[in-house]
């Protein structure tokens, strides 16, 4: 009888502990959401008070064009983080998509070149997914290694900058519909599709659930391995697409393109409500996070702040965001 009572007491104690952690996590999440909302509003107030050029049509259009690349990369990063992983290969995927799109644009045309670029990102993304999901390797180690592999592949393809002469090459990134660029439209469509995928489709909801409780998802009859591979595949697709749009806007493809993009992508996801290790995140929040980073970078450029100070600011933002979103243990 005494042993049974002791066991019951232990069960109750563990249950209370779980409830306490859950409540604490929710309170921390709510506080973090309000904190970053205040940050977002404060950035706009600073812009209104100290940067007269910020709200001009030209600067707004330029800001949105600059957000496109990180917005697409962050969207792919969101899917991987939802599964409990992280993708450090995204910056290399940006370079891969950019050089392949530029290198093939003159020979096969714009659309086939874009398909080739996105397919290359998808192929390497599948490799990441298989190594992480099927072989149960740590995503950090896998994608860190693949980051070097993909970057090396880019330099094997070309060690010098590439320029395409196709008359429609600049349309994807620099073409506009009124004041809105095609890149912004593509990014908005991508976010709408992923929002629908995560909130209205069975496999999308499963992807969200994997980071919270992988075993429960498996017991529910969902193929966790294939769902996780899909997340890495889509990360490769969106990152390669970001590279194609970026080189189209710049007019040149550098093999060093996309350096450190993974940091901004992680920051955008976490600022927008994502939790490293899985268990939280949304397309709407990630869009807000990418826009917030874009505004901060835009303001620092308008104020003439040196690039190395900008790196310090971004690093601090990432640390604060991760601290605010950390799980209770």
pLDDT score of 18: 38
| Mean pLDDT estimate for the chain | 88
Q: Quick one: average pLDDT of 29-43?
A: 71
> What pLDDT is attached to residue 154?
98
Across 21-25, average pLDDT: 46
Report how far residue 141's alpha carbon sits from residue 251's, in angstroms, rounded to the nearest whole number.
34
Highest mean pLDDT among 48-52, 96-100, 220-224: 96-100
Class of domain 2-325: mainly alpha
293: number of Cβ within 10 Å = 26
Better-scored residue on pLDDT, 280 or 3: 280
**In the predicted model, is pLDDT for residue 187 greater than 70?**
yes
pLDDT at residue 183 in the model: 96
The stretch 16-22 carries a mean pLDDT of 42
Q: How far apart are CA 258 and CA 242, in angstroms?
A: 9
74 closest CA partner among 316, 226, 288? 288
Eight-class DSSP state of 28: H
Domains of the chain, residue spans = 2-325
Buried b (16+ CB within 10 A) or exposed e, 129-142: bbbbbeeeeebeeb
Q: Which long-range contacts (CB under 8 A, 24 or more apart) does 126-130 make?
A: 126/229, 126/232, 126/233, 126/236, 128/87, 128/89, 128/232, 128/235, 128/236, 129/228, 129/229, 129/230, 129/231, 129/232, 129/233, 130/229
Percent of the chain at pLDDT exceeding 90: 61
Displacement of CA 15 from its chain's centroid (Å):
35
Give which of 217, 190, 208, 185 is closest to 279, Cα–Cα: 208
What tokens were used for 107? 């020979």
Going by pLDDT thresholds of 50, 70 and 90, the confidence category of residue 299 is: confident
Which H or E element spans position 181? strand 180-181
Above pLDDT 70, what percent of the chain? 88
């Amino acid at each position: 009888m005494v042993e049974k009572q002791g066991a019951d007491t232990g069960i109750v104690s563990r249950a209370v502990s779980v409830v306490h952690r859950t409540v604490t996590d929710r309170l921390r999440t709510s506080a973090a959401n309000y904190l970053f909302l205040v940050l977002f509003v404060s950035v706009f107030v600073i812009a209104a008070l100290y940067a007269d050029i910020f709200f001009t049509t030209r600067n707004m259009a330029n800001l949105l064009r600059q957000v496109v690349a990180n917005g697409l990369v962050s969207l792919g990063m969101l899917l991987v983080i939802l599964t409990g992983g992280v993708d450090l290969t995204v910056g290399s995927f940006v370079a891969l998509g950019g050089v392949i799109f530029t290198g093939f644009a003159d020979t096969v045309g714009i659309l086939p070149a874009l398909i080739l670029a996105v397919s290359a990102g998808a192929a390497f993304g599948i490799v990441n997914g298989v190594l992480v999901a099927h072989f149960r390797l740590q995503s950090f180690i896998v994608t860190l290694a693949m980051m070097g592999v993909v970057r090396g592949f880019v330099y094997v393809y070309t060690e010098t900058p590439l320029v395409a002469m196709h008359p429609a090459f600049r349309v994807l990134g620099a073409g506009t519909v009124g004041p809105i660029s095609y890149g912004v439209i593509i990014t908005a469509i991508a976010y709408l599709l992923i929002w629908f995928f995560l909130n209205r489709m069975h496999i999308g909801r499963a992807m969200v659930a994997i980071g919270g409780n992988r075993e429960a998802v498996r017991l529910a009859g969902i193929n966790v391995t294939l769902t996780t591979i899909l997340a890495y595949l889509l990360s490769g697709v969106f990152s390669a697409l970001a590279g194609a749009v970026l080189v189209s806007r710049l007019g040149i493809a550098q093999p060093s393109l996309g350096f450190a993009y993974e940091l901004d992508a992680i920051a955008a996801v976490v600022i927008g409500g994502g939790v490293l290790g899985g268990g939280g995140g949304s397309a709407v929040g990630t869009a807000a996070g990418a826009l917030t980073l874009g505004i901060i970078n835009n303001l620092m450029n308008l104020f003439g702040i040196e690039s190395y100070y900008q790196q310090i600011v971004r690093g601090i933002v990432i640390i604060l965001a991760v601290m605010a979103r950390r799980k209770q243990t």
